[in-house]
Amino acid sequence: MNNAPARGTAAARPGGPSRRVVVTATTVLAASVALSSCSVPAPRRSTAAADPAPGMPIATSRRAQAMQILAHPDDDLYFMNPDTQRMLDAGVPLVCIYVTAGEHDGKNHIPGDWDVPADRAGYSSARHQGLRQAYAALLGLDRFAGWSKDVASLYGGHRAEINTLTNGRASVDLIFLNLPMHTTRRYMALPSLWRDRALGLNTVVSAGSPLRRTVSYDYDELIDVLVGLMERYRPTVIQTLDPDPDIQHSDEATRKKDSEQRGYSDHADHTAVASFSWTAMVRWVARATQDSGEVPGFVATAFRGYYNRHWPKNLPAAVLQEKAAGLVPYGGDPDWECGNTAGCGDYNVGGIRPLKNKKGWVRATHHRYPGARIAVATEPSGRLAAYGVLGLRAVRWRETRPGSGQWGNPDDLGGGPLAPALGAATLKDGRQLLFALRFAALDGQGGPNRREVVLLEQGSPGGEFLAWNGLGNPERDDDRGRRIGVPVAVATPDGRVHLFVRNADKGISTRIRDKAGRWDRWRDLGGEEIQDGLSTVVDGAGRVHVFGAGRESVHHWTQDTLGRPLTFRPDSRLPVPGGPLAPVLTRDGGIELYYRKPTDSMVMAVRTGGAPARPRKEGFDGYGPLSAAAAPGGLVLLGKDTRGRVQLRNRTQLLTRTHGIAALDAPALHAGRSGTTVVGLGADAHPWTWLPGAGTAG
C-alpha cells in the first residue's frame, strides 16, 4: 500500500521572477532562446531558514516514506544502492525525482555500433524505460511489468510525467521533471541555473511521454517544486547526492574522461541538484514551522558520487553483484521487446559493463556525512537518551522508563540546518556535548554558501542544554569550508575535549577545549589524505588517538605524552582499510583496530602502537561501518551482514536482527553495566532498540 498522500494540484505561489532569459535544450523540442538586452533579473530571493532556537513541535507520524532526488536517470543505481534496495525490501514506499531528462547528446550507444543518430527525446525515453525495468526488478517483479503513467500537477502550475508501480506494501513513483542537461550553447544547464538569477530553462519532452508540451523553470521555481513534492509525500527519509564534493585536481584530459567538473570529484549536475535539494529541505522546514507549525520529521542522507573513482572500493563481492544486477535491466538491450519504441534502456550500461567500467562507480557506496545516526548516553535516572538530527535539527529522545527500550516523542534542540550525523562527547560529570556541521548559508545565484561547526552543551547531567555555540571552520575560504567533514570529539581524563574534522585538503584539523572550557584556535595536524569517518579513542595512559582510512594504509595521529599536541604517525605495515575503523581499548591499555579491507566481507583485527602488525581474522561477514566495544563479557562487534541486516557478535554468539522497522545507516552500540544495547534510527525517522541478549527486536 502506498502511504503517500493523494496526488493533487498544489496552489500556485507568487514571488518568482517575472522576466528572465529562457534557455532550452534543443530548438526542436522547446521554444527558441529568448535573449533580450533589456531583460532585468528579478532581485535574488534569499533562502528562507527556520529559526534555530529550540522548543519547536515535531511531526511524528511513525509511517515510513522514502524520497530520492537525482540529477540523472541511473544516479540512484550507481550511488545510492544498496541502501535503496534495503528500504524496498522492507516495504518502504519510494518516490524518485529525476531533475534532468538525461538526454545528453541524444545518442543511445549500442556496444559495437557507435555510429547512432542523435535523438534527445528518444534517448531520454529509453533511459526512463530502463528505470522502469530496473525498479520493477528491485520490487521483485518482472522487468517488463506494467507501470501506470500519468501527468502530475506540481507546485506553481508546473507539470511532470509520473510513473507508478506497486508490489505488496512497497511501491515506487518515478517523477520526471525533465530539465535539460545542456543549453543550446552547450553550457551545463543545472549548474548555470544554480548560479544565474537571469536564467530560465525549458524542459525536454521525452518520446512517448503523456506530457506533450514544455514547461519553464527558474531558480526559485525548481526549489518550490521540490518543496511542494516534499509537502505532498511528507517523506521520512530524503536521499540526495553530494552538495559539497571533494577538491580534486586533475589534468584536463583526465577530468573530461572522468566526466568531472573542474577542480572537484563529481559531475557538476550532481552538485547543482544536491544544492537545490538541500535548499529545498531548508525551505520546507522554514515554511512548515511558520505560525507555530511542526518541524517535518525526516532524516536526510547525501551520497558521494564520482568520489568512488578515487578511493578504495568498499563493497564485497556478494553486495557488489547485487548492486550491479540493478543496472542490468536499466541498461537493457536493443533486442528486448519492452513496448517502448524509443528504446529499452541505456544500452551502454547494461550486462557486465558496470563491472568492467574502469571508473569503478558501482563498486562503492559512500555517505557524504558518515557516522552513527544516533548518539546514546545514560542519564542519572538510569534511562537512555538518544540524540540525532530530525528535520535538519538536533533532537533528543528519551526512554519512557529505564530499560524499557521504548522511546518517547523527540524534544527539539534546534540549531538547524544541520548535516545528518552528530559528534558527541561525555564530560567527567556526565554532561553531554553535541557537535554538528551546520549549513550556515546555502544560497545559489551568487549568494553565500557557508558551513560551520557548532556545539550544544548540556547545563547539567541529564538536564537541559545551553545556547548553541559556533566553533567556526578550519578553512578560511567559504568554498574550501564546504569540503569539511563530520565533527568527531572525545573528552580526556584531564578535563580537556579534543575536536577533529576532516579538512579541505583531506587531512585533519583540530580544536582543543581546556579544563576551564576555553577553546583554542583551529590547527592543521598534517599527515596524508584520508576519507571522512574519523575514529577516536583515549588509551590507558590518557593519550588521544585519531584514525582515518587512507588510500594505502591506516593513518594515525596521537600524542607523545598527555596534554601534548597530536602528531601524524605513518605506519605502512597496517593493511589498507575499505572504510572507517573501529578502535577498542584492550585490557592492557593498548588499542586494537577492527575493519574490513577493500572489497572484503570479513572483519580483521590489528594491534597498533608499535606492536607487530599481525592481522587477525574475525569473520563477521558483511559490509559498511563497524562499531566495537569492550563489554563486561568481552569484545562486542556491531555491523551489517551482506543482506543489510544488523548483526552483533559477542564472545559466544552471532546474533542477527531479523524483525522491526528498516534500519538506516550505522546504529549505535551502547555497552553498559546491564549489558549491550543497540539503538538505531528507522526508516520511519524514529529510534528502535535491540537487546541482543534478550533476543528482542526494536
- Of residues 670 and 19, more confidence is placed in 670
Q: What is the mean pLDDT of residues 48-68?
A: 85
- The answer to whether the beta carbons of residues 394 and 456 sit under 8 Å apart is yes
3-state secondary structure 561-576: CCCCCCEECCCCCCCC
Q: What's the order of all strands across the beta sheet hosting 199-202? A: 21-23, 199-202, 216-217
DSSP letter at 110 equals B
Look at residue 361 and give its three-state secondary structure: helix
Please name which of 595, 592, 526, 528 lies closest in space to residue 555, comparing C-alpha atoms. 528
What the block records as the C-alpha cell of 108 is: 543511445
Could you tell me the sign of the dihedral formed by the alpha carbons of 260, 104, 166, 333, in that order? negative
Highest mean pLDDT among 23-27, 44-48, 487-491: 487-491
Whether cis (ω within 30° of 0) applies to the bond prior to 612 is no
For cell 569517518, the residue is: 533
Q: What's the order of all strands across the beta sheet hosting 675-682? A: 663-672, 675-682, 687-690
Q: At what angle do helices 268-288 and 219-233 cross, to 10 degrees?
A: 60
Pairing of β 675-682 and β 687-690: antiparallel
Lowest mean pLDDT among 14-23, 387-396, 588-597: 14-23
Look at residue 497 and give its three-state secondary structure: strand
Spatial separation of the C-alpha atoms in residues 212 and 621, rounded to whole Å: 51
Strand partners, 159: 153
The whole-number pLDDT of residue 62 equals 86
DSSP letter at 221 equals H
* Cα-to-chain-centroid distance, residue 109: 31
Look at residue 306 and give its three-state secondary structure: helix
Q: What is the share, in percent, of the chain residues with pLDDT greater than 70?
A: 91
DSSP letter at 550 equals B
DSSP letter at 692 equals G
The whole-number pLDDT of residue 185 equals 65
State the pLDDT confidence band at 659, using cuts at 50, 70 and 90. confident
What the block records as the C-alpha cell of 214 is: 514544455
Lowest mean pLDDT among 37-46, 83-92, 118-127, 570-579: 37-46
Give one DSSP letter per residue of 378-441, joined into a string.
E-TTS-EEEEEEETTEEEEEEBSSTT---B-PPEEEE--SB-S--EEEE-TTS-EEEEEEEEEE
Q: What is the mean pLDDT of residues 8-17?
A: 33
State the pLDDT confidence band at 16, using cuts at 50, 70 and 90. very low
- Does position 11 have pLDDT exceeding 60, yes or no? no
Could you tell me the sign of the dihedral formed by the alpha carbons of 648, 650, 655, 661, in that order? negative
Look at residue 192 and give its three-state secondary structure: helix
Spatial separation of the C-alpha atoms in residues 243 and 193, rounded to whole Å: 15
Read off the amino acid at residue 92: V
Q: What is the pTM of this model?
A: 0.92
Compute CA distances 486 → 344, 372, 438, 477, 578, whole Å. Answer: 41, 11, 10, 18, 18
Please name which of 74, 67, 644, 73 lies closest in space to residue 327, comparing C-alpha atoms. 74
Q: What is the mean pLDDT of residues 156-165?
A: 96
- The answer to whether the beta carbons of residues 213 and 295 sit under 8 Å apart is no
Q: What is the mean pLDDT of residues 170-174?
A: 97
Residue 283 φ/ψ region, left for φ over 0, alpha for ψ in the -120 to 50 degree band, beta for the rest: alpha
Read off the amino acid at residue 406: Q
If you compute the radius of gyration of the chain from its CA atoms, what whole number of angstroms results? 25
Q: What is the mean pLDDT of residues 440-446?
A: 92
Pairing of β 94-100 and β 170-179: parallel
CB atoms within 10 A of CB 338: 18
- The answer to whether the beta carbons of residues 392 and 422 sit under 8 Å apart is no
The whole-number pLDDT of residue 645 equals 95
The whole-number pLDDT of residue 351 equals 84
- The answer to whether the beta carbons of residues 281 and 392 sit under 8 Å apart is yes
Give one DSSP letter per residue of 559-616, joined into a string.
-SSTTSPPEE---TTSPPPSS--EEEE-TTS-EEEEEE-TT--SEEEEE-SSS----E
State the pLDDT confidence band at 49, using cuts at 50, 70 and 90. low
Q: What is the mean pLDDT of residues 464-469?
A: 94
- Does position 19 have pLDDT exceeding 70, yes or no? no
Read off the amino acid at residue 540: G
Spatial separation of the C-alpha atoms in residues 13 and 10, rounded to whole Å: 9
State the pLDDT confidence band at 28, using cuts at 50, 70 and 90. very low
Q: What is the mean pLDDT of residues 192-213?
A: 92
Q: What is the share, in percent, of the chain residues with pLDDT greater than 90?
A: 76
Spatial separation of the C-alpha atoms in residues 637 and 606, rounded to whole Å: 14
Strand partners, 13: none
For cell 517523477, the residue is: 175
Q: What is the mean pLDDT of residues 245-271?
A: 93
Which residues are CB-contacts of 37 (< 8 A; sequence separation ≥ 6)? none
State the pLDDT confidence band at 20, using cuts at 50, 70 and 90. very low
Please name which of 237, 220, 367, 238 lies closest in space to residue 287, comparing C-alpha atoms. 220
Cα diameter, the chain: 77
The whole-number pLDDT of residue 76 equals 98
- The answer to whether the beta carbons of residues 361 and 258 sit under 8 Å apart is no
Over residues 320-359, the pLDDT tens digits come to 999 999 999 999 999 999 999 999 999 989 888 889 888 9
The whole-number pLDDT of residue 40 equals 40
State the pLDDT confidence band at 113, using cuts at 50, 70 and 90. confident
Over residues 350-372, the pLDDT tens digits come to 888 889 888 999 999 999 999 98
DSSP letter at 359 equals T
- The answer to whether the beta carbons of residues 521 and 512 sit under 8 Å apart is no
Over residues 216-238, the pLDDT tens digits come to 999 999 999 999 999 999 999 99
The whole-number pLDDT of residue 451 equals 97
Average pLDDT, the chain: 89
Give the CA-trace dihedral at 634, 637, 643, 646, to 10 degrees: 90
- Does position 36 have pLDDT exceeding 70, yes or no? no
Spatial separation of the C-alpha atoms in residues 83 and 219, rounded to whole Å: 30
